[in-house]
Amino acid sequence: MLVRDPEIRELKREWFGKDEATDVLSFPGGETLVGPRQLGDIVISLDTARRAAREFGTTLERELALYLAHGLLHLLGHDHQNRRDARAMEKLERKLLGHAGMLSRSEDVR
């Protein structure tokens, strides 16, 4: 889902207890006993993506691809709460995208 900053801020406040806008949120789907499982939902802030595209000198489409790859990896169970996990997740972002991902910009990876 693509939303504006006020909507993603409300979701982050409601589900994560943090009153701030963010770039992307992932909400895992429910478990199913039979058949394919829905991974979940990814919510991306278009406002944040536009600002980041300008800041990093890239296109909106490329920025959205970064957020989508990052959110998908969260739905698959990856996280970046510590440096080791952040580096591993960044490698997966690179593999998915064919170039550096969101975490390559993060101090968590360095």
- pLDDT tens for residues 9-48? 999 999 999 999 999 999 988 776 666 778 899 999 999 9
CA distances for 21 relative to 25, 50, 83, angstroms: 10, 14, 23
- What domains sit in the chain, N to C, each tagged with a CATH number? 2-105 (3.40.390.30)
- pLDDT tens for residues 57-103? 999 999 999 999 999 999 989 988 888 988 888 989 889 888 877 66
pTM for the complete prediction?
0.84
Q: Which helix (H) or strand (E) holds 40?
A: strand 40-45
Residue 58, token pair as written in the block: 């890239």
pLDDT of residue 50: 97
